[in-house]
Amino acid sequence: MTSRGAAGAMASAPAGAVWTKTCQVLKHELGEATFGSWLGQAALRETAEEVCVVAATGVARDWIRRHAWRRIGELWAQNDPLGRRLDLKSRMEVESAGMAAHTPIPAPAAANAPETPQVFEVEAEVAAPVAARQGRLLGLQDRFSFETFVSGPANEFAFAVARRVANWSDGHFNPVLFHGPYGFGKTHLLNALAWEAMKSAPDRRVVYLTAERFTTTFVKAIQDRQTQAFKDDLRNADLLLIDDVHFVAGKTQTQEELFHTLIALVEDGRRVVLTADRSPTELSEMEPRLRSHLQAGLVCGIEPADRTLRLGILERKLQTLATQGRFVPAARGEVLQFLADRFTDSVRELEGALNTLVARVGGDIARLTLDEAQGILRPHLSVTERKVTVDMIQKTVAEHYALKQADLISERRARAVARPRQVAMWLAKQITTRSLPDIGRRFGGRDHTTVLHAVRRIEALKAEDAAIARDIDVLLRKLRG
């Protein structure tokens, strides 16, 4: 299989060259922002059976089919001398279409070559249940694996580092620290790393624990006069994984013990991976020596998920829920987009909202309308969100666009004012309980039809204009604190 980014050239593959030419024209015709939002993360997949454009998400696939597929077909036909048929699928469709079809087939072994692959396969089958038992004893969660982790620009570097460490690759940095906001995949990544490390090297010792558990176990060891046993248990690990290391900040004895454990393991060539909610430089309550050693290896930040990644996470979660509930993994694009735009602060909250919808309607989620989804989630939103007023929205939007609040309620129609005003109206409709007429009155006595037009315009622009989508992401975060 050949797969590369839409914007990348594949000069050695004829299909890739045709796709590159097609993308160059599309970028010019659609504009870089629109192209980047919907086709920039697409890939071309070429096999013996088909040539297929693979969109990042199902929502992106649907947009491409509605707005660009006919033009893509025209350009492809003009540039492909072989006249091959081009298909369109989402990444999820490709991955769930049959993993066996995508498994590389090993080349036939030479006559006198040892049968290492066959021996390895048998060992892997034996190792899998052993790893599963060890993982459950360590407190690992089955659902957190590399296969269920959705990667994107916000986390792809951390994801690549985790996979490299899990495969016991040489040339690693030590220790590795993943940091980022609550609910954006740090624990998932650490669990996945542990599972994979145990499967790939069942003879090596992996130890996983939260910083809280590290602390309570250490305190108990002191009380029971078993500190040496505690130290030996950790320092004999080939790979030590500690989640939420920021928890030890301010705990003098625990920090001291963690510091010496870290030194002993790193000097002995053992591997250490940790997570924190902030970068080491921001852990002000942490003992300076420990903070310095956390910075000495590789520090990987995990940024808040962008809109494309949030949509991908929703589709992956829907696939999982559909498998468990035995229904078709489909939902209306407008419903998934609403969830992706509304739950921007935490992947856990994002998945929790989808769980709520599926729990209420089950397999009927494919027929669930946007109004029905909002109605189901409204009680949860009112509990979890702070009270946001139209006045707060106007002040925040005005500040973001370097305007005065009075500009948003004025009669000015210049684009530099009209677009921010539409954004503010869209936000007022999304995160307040005000009616359209009420919102209109608070924007200089405008009619409810003006507000409705603004809401629909911003809905359309979010899908087409990456800059508007980013602005809305930033504004939602500010307003929700």
Reported as a single tens digit per residue, the pLDDT across 466-480 is 788 888 888 887 887
- Is it the case that residue 147 has pLDDT exceeding 90? no
Nearest to 24 by CA among 4, 43, 8, 3: 8
Give me the mean pLDDT over the 256-263 stretch.
92
Element (H, E) at 260: helix 252-267
Give me the mean pLDDT over the 14-28 stretch.
85
Q: How confident is the model at residue 97 (pLDDT cuts 50, 70, 90)?
A: low
Residue with tokens 């087409």: 464
Across the chain, how many H-helices and E-strands are there? 23, 9
Tokens for 274?
């940790």
Phi and psi torsions of 369, nearest 5° = -85, 165
- Is it the case that residue 140 has pLDDT exceeding 60? yes
Top-confidence residue, 132 or 107 = 132
Nearest to 215 by CA among 180, 252, 270: 252
- Written as one letter, the residue type at 5 is G
Q: Which of 116-130, 167-181, 214-228, 320-334 has the lowest mean pLDDT?
A: 116-130
- Residue 371's Cα: distance from chain center in Å? 26
- Written as one letter, the residue type at 458 is I
Nearest to 139 by CA among 232, 207, 200: 207
286, HSE (Cβ side, Cα atoms, 13 Å): 24
Residue with tokens 């999820």: 92
Q: How many residues does the chain have?
A: 481
- Written as one letter, the residue type at 89 is K
Give me the mean pLDDT over the 264-286 stretch.
89
- pLDDT tens across 323-377, in order? 888 888 888 888 898 888 778 777 888 888 899 999 888 888 888 888 888 888 8
By percentage, how much of the chain surpasses pLDDT 70? 85
Helix ranges (H only) for 303-343 are 307-325, 333-342
Distance CA 62, CA 57 (A): 9
| DSSP characters over 356-396 | HHHHHHGGGGGG--HHHHHHHHHHHHHHHSPP--HHHHHHH
Q: How confident is the model at residue 121 (pLDDT cuts 50, 70, 90)?
A: very low
Query: 3-class DSSP state for residue 406?
Result: helix
Top-confidence residue, 171 or 26 = 26
Tokens for 446?
């405008």
- Is it the case that residue 385 has pLDDT exceeding 70? no
CB-based contacts of 455: which residues, under 8 Å, 6+ apart? 425, 426, 429
- pLDDT, residue 120, reads 27
Mean pLDDT of the chain: 81
Give me the mean pLDDT over the 426-434 stretch.
85
- pLDDT, residue 271, reads 92
Q: Which of 60-64, 108-112, 221-225, 397-401 has the lowest mean pLDDT?
A: 108-112
- pLDDT, residue 279, reads 87
- pLDDT, residue 110, reads 33
SS3 of 161-215? HHHHHHCCCCCCCCCEEEECCCCCCHHHHHHHHHHHHHHHCCCCCEEEEEHHHHH
